[in-house]
Amino acid sequence: MHAPDEGSIELRGEEVRLHSVHDAREHGISAVFQEFSLVEELTIEENLFLGNELKRGPFLDRKAARRRARELLESLEFPLRPERKVKTLTRAEKQMVEIAKGFRSRVSVLILDEPTASLTERETESLFALVRKLQAKGAGILYITHRMAEIREIGDRVTVLRDGRKIETVDAGSTSEEELVRLMTGRVIDQIFPSIEFSPGAEVLRVEGLTTRSGHVREASLEVHAGEIVGLAGLVGSGKSELLRACYGLDGIASGRVVFLGEEVNGQSPRRMIRRGFFYGPPDRRAEGLLMNRSVRENILLPAIGTAAYRRGGFLRTGKERDTAAELAARLQLQPPRIERPVSQFSGGNQQKVLLAKSLTRDFRLFVFDEPTVGVDVGTRTEIYRFLAELCEEGAAVVVISSDLPEVLHLSRRAYVLYRGEIKAHLVGEEITQENVLQHFFEREVA
Amino acid sequence: MTDSAQREGREEESRRGPGHWAKQVFLRLGVLPLFLIGALVIFTWLSENFLTQRNLLNVVRQSSYLVLVSVGQMFALLTGGFDLSVGTIVAVTSVVGALAMAALHAALPEATFLVITLGCLAGIAAGGLIGAINGLGVALFRVSPFMMTLGMASVGFGIALFLTGGVPVYGMPFAFSDAFGFGSLLGIPSPVFVAILLIVFLYFLVSRTATGRYFYAVGANIQAAELSGVPSRRILFLAYLFCGLIAAIAGMLLTARLETGEANIGSSLALESIAACVIAGVSLRGGVGRLENVVLGALFIGLLSNGMNLAQIQSYLQTVVVGVLLIVAVIADQYRLRLMAADRA
């Protein structure tokens, strides 16, 4: 994908020059990337063998492809039918296909880049089992992750990289978590999560018996007050994201009521909701959050430039715009602090900061962050958590929707757990423990 | 680029000479300045009449129609679409404007000013209507811009031919052509004058208003724009409406120059206006492009055909050259993006 400017790559003691992804695969190097490299319009099986099609004479051998695809998915225990089109899959399912792609041919080196970002516990387990099987067969696995627990579970040696440089390689078993964090961030962090002073005030958002038209959310009720952080936990597809998206006007509402700042707001557009003071930061910053080829300044101020504060006689106040962008970039410690650079040229963590900065450009009353730290390094995570804490302490109502359990456990004053579109539990303060939350993640046996 | 990189760049310039300088210009401004310099050098060498004040003024006047249409086209491109019907819009405007003016002139031979005003309004309204229909199709019914504008191009062309029977429309007051076709104001030819006025207005609209910014936002990522409160449908609609209105104004100016209303003008405008935008660095994927560069891009295409005429290159071959340059510009732009990424790394 990228040609090295200098340095060399050695495979089994011999230097190799890789000119393309295809080239690498010939050498037995297979990679699974965070960003999906799937063709939406093709089926799963077509995607699995893309660039390496099974042929009989000059023709595609569809039967063999179907059979091999099914075997592959079964061995991974992914519940997918190979004839489905990729565009109909959920994010987690796409991730599974991406992983299966990495396993399709004989691999000697497998690179996995944050493969579990949207997988459930069970799916993660079967992935790990497969990785171990490959490992036993003598393959080398390069596992890229920011999840501490995974490093310890799957890794033998850990190499820590920071700012494009190798910091150190340590033994996974004998190195403590604190030590790893120190290596990753370059400083000692007593605590990744800040302690937050909650001072709950007036009710900001109330949802009563909400059912979405898509059916992803059923009969959900919740409330959010000023000065608190409310966590929403649940598996991928549990409806935790869809619930707030429906409130924001992104999903149709079939029945129920959404009351925001004392007014019923069913079926308003995002534009109207923003005007009322509702901020929603989407989970997929590339797809929904940011204008990748536009500058940081334009991205940060996009929600605000339509307001009177940035207008003088019909024209944009470009000076004020620049000042605000620079100020927010400084507050969120954007690295590098270049507000005229296109967002695409920043790291994932810094892109996320740009997304968060958008929430400070207007007088928002409710801040909903959907997966605020997805694909973000530990150092930036800490900064983002502190940012959320500050928002809350300044009296804002904050909702954190997250698949990352520790995030919900440590940030929330109250937490709702969703399962299959329904709110299964409402936990307050001390009740928010890993045990309590997990208990509601999965289906319980019903007599 | 960082300050230090710029400083380094400047230091290296003195060491590496014109090749490096050209690369820096290319990186900063794209392929257009190199094309312009190349064209100037080659045509000056081929024809002694090329680099004269009179000829260059002539180029600017002749290009003003394409400049206008290209600037309109930019709006559609910025939002991630394009408008293939600009040529038809010019034709419909010309035909409707000329028919209205001729009919009014016959009825009210004395009221020349009123006749010209109403005729222009009728023509521009007809062209604007096609733009508005394009906009509705794309914004409301989510028809792909390709199909929508291609379909409207056929509809419009058919209507223009139907209205005229394929025959040029005569009978407009002479004052119309005298003023808008051949006249000048403050020493500036009237089509150039109108173009400058519109460009200044649109420049401020695009770079200094929230609405202008929204065109870029919708083109860069319509989902993100919508989630950030941008009225994306309204913006899409406006892009095609603006494109139609600006092309319609060009159509009226062209009608004044030709002294007749014609259904057959403008057939090459869709390609040429898209070419002008792309050569000027407007992204076909939307979200990127600058108005001042588009003006230069259209002037470049005007310069090119003028130079080739003077150099006595056959008009059939000229279209070959435009097509080749368009493709070269796109390839050069890809190359430039890669260089820029490497520069920053």
Domains of chain B: 48-344 (1.10.3470)
Element (H, E) at A411: helix A405-411
Q: What is the mean pLDDT of residues A227-238?
A: 88
Q: Which of A163, A305, A318, A344 is the best mutation test for B, with the most CBs of B within 10 A?
A: A305
Q: What is the mean pLDDT of residues A246-252?
A: 92
Better-predicted residue by pLDDT, B156 or A375: B156
pLDDT of residue A6: 65
**Which of B208, B210, B224 lies nearest to residue A291, judging by beta carbons?**
B224
For residue A73, what pLDDT band results from cuts at 50, 70 and 90? Answer: confident
Better-predicted residue by pLDDT, A88 or B170: B170
Tens digits of per-residue pLDDT, A169-216? 888 777 777 777 777 766 554 567 888 888 999 999 999 999 999 888
Q: Which of A307, A311, A316, A345 is the best mutation test for B, with the most CBs of B within 10 A?
A: A316
pLDDT of residue A79: 80
Say if the Cβ atoms of B227 and A315 lie within 8 Å. no
Q: State the complex-level ipTM.
A: 0.84
For residue A158, what pLDDT band results from cuts at 50, 70 and 90? Answer: confident
* Lowest mean pLDDT, pick from A40-49, A295-304, A356-365, B295-304: A40-49
Q: CA torsion angle for A36, A39, A41, A44 (degrees, to 10)?
A: -80
Say if the Cβ atoms of B209 and A314 lie within 8 Å. yes
Domain locations in chain A?
9-155, 194-277+364-447, 295-360
For residue A34, what pLDDT band results from cuts at 50, 70 and 90? Answer: low
For residue A140, what pLDDT band results from cuts at 50, 70 and 90? Answer: confident
Say if the Cβ atoms of B223 and A274 lie within 8 Å. no
Find residue A225's DSSP bridge partners: A203
- pLDDT surpassing 60 at residue B5: no
pLDDT of residue B70: 97
Say if the Cβ atoms of B288 and A293 lie within 8 Å. yes
- Cβ-contact A296, A333 below 8 angstroms: no
Say if the Cβ atoms of A288 and B227 lie within 8 Å. yes
Which CATH architecture describes the domain A9-155? 3-Layer(aba) Sandwich (3.40)
For residue B9, what pLDDT band results from cuts at 50, 70 and 90? Answer: very low
* Lowest mean pLDDT, pick from A285-294, B35-44, B53-62, B333-342: B333-342
Q: What is the mean pLDDT of residues A64-80?
A: 82
pLDDT of residue A190: 53
pLDDT of residue B340: 73
* Lowest mean pLDDT, pick from A20-24, A210-214, A259-263, B318-322: A20-24
Whole-number average pLDDT of chain A: 84
Q: Which residues of A touch B216 (CB under 8 A)?
A: 291, 294, 298
Q: In terms of DSSP bridges, do strands A29-32 and A109-113 run parallel, antiparallel, or are they unpaired?
A: parallel
Instruction: Determine the Cα–Cα distance for residues A376 and A384; give it in Å rounded to an integer.
Output: 10
Q: By CA distance, what is A338's nearest residue in B?
A: B2
Q: By CA distance, what is B342's nearest residue in A?
A: A5
Say if the Cβ atoms of B224 and A289 lie within 8 Å. yes
pLDDT of residue A228: 94
Same fold, A9-155 and A194-277+364-447: yes
Q: What is the mean pLDDT of residues B140-163?
A: 95
For residue A4, what pLDDT band results from cuts at 50, 70 and 90? Answer: low
- Interchain CB contact of A283 with B (< 8 Å): no
Report long-range pairs for A172-178 (Cβ below 8 Å, ≥24 apart).
Answer: A177/A148, A177/A152
Say if the Cβ atoms of A315 and B287 lie within 8 Å. no
Q: Which of A271, A286, A350 is the best mutation test for B, with the most CBs of B within 10 A?
A: A271
Three-state SS for A422? strand
* Lowest mean pLDDT, pick from A58-72, B75-89, B210-224, B315-329: A58-72
Residue % of chain A over a pLDDT of 70: 90
- pLDDT surpassing 60 at residue B11: no
Nearest-Cα distance to chain A for B258, in Å, is 38
* Lowest mean pLDDT, pick from A83-97, B293-307, B310-324: A83-97
pLDDT of residue B60: 94
Q: What is the mean pLDDT of residues B305-315?
A: 89
Tens digits of per-residue pLDDT, A355-370? 999 999 999 999 999 9
For residue B1, what pLDDT band results from cuts at 50, 70 and 90? Answer: very low
Nearest-Cα distance to chain A for B229, in Å, is 4
For residue A41, what pLDDT band results from cuts at 50, 70 and 90? Answer: confident
Q: What is the mean pLDDT of residues B116-139?
A: 96
Say if the Cβ atoms of A316 and B210 lie within 8 Å. yes
Which CATH architecture describes the domain A194-277+364-447? 3-Layer(aba) Sandwich (3.40)
**Which of B204, B216, B229 lies nearest to residue A274, judging by beta carbons?**
B229
Q: Using alpha carbons, select from B125, B116, B99, B126 the residue that is nearest to residue B178.
A: B116
Q: Which residues of B touch A345 (CB under 8 A)?
A: 341, 344
Tens digits of per-residue pLDDT, A321-332? 999 999 999 999
Tens digits of per-residue pLDDT, B245-263? 999 999 999 999 999 999 9
Question: pTM of the entire structure?
Answer: 0.80
Q: Which residues of B touch A306 (CB under 8 A)?
A: 210, 229-230
- pLDDT surpassing 60 at residue A237: yes
Sequence-ordered list of residues with C-beta below 8 angstroms from that of B8, at least 6 positions apart, any chain: none
Instruction: Determine the Cα–Cα distance for residues B137 and B240; give it in Å rounded to an integer.
Output: 10
Q: What is the mean pLDDT of residues A34-54?
A: 78
What is the secondary structure of A305-367 as a DSSP string?
A: TTSGGGEETTEE-HHHHHHHHHHHHHHTT-SS--TTSBGGGS-HHHHHHHHHHGGGSS--SEE
**Which of B209, B227, B288 lies nearest to residue A282, judging by beta carbons?**
B227
Q: Which residues of B touch A271 (CB under 8 A)?
A: 226, 229-231
Residues of B with CB under 8 A from a CB of A: 2, 204, 208-210, 213, 216-217, 220-221, 223-231, 283, 287-288, 341, 344
